[in-house]
Amino acid sequence: MNKNEMEYIKKVSTFSKIIRTEVLFTPLLIILPLVVGIFLIYGWFDKRFDPVYFGSFILGIIIIIGNISFDIPFIKSLIELSKKNKK
């Protein structure tokens, strides 16, 4: 094996480790912000729609919408990448 082949093997190994790490952290990256957003919205509902807690409601909505808008493309790219690696 020459030097170029060894460098390619190192790059592929590092790339697969990075992808494995992303796949393992995906549930945490998706579920944790959703739980926090739902917790903030529930806190507002629990306080009987008190205007003092309206900021927590807005913050919960922003977290949930932001999380969904970034998670859908992230999951799609992971699915495409896993399909590409299987071929």
- Report pTM: 0.73
Q: Token match 């495409």: residue?
A: 80
Quick: pLDDT tens for 63-81.
999 999 999 998 888 888 7
Quick: pLDDT tens for 43-59.
999 988 888 889 999 99
HEC string of the chain equals CCHHHHHHHHHHHHHHHHHHHHHHHHHHHHHHHHHHHHHHHHHHHHCCCCHHHHHHHHHHHHHHHHHHHHHHHHHHHHHHHHHHHHC
Domain boundaries, the chain: 18-86
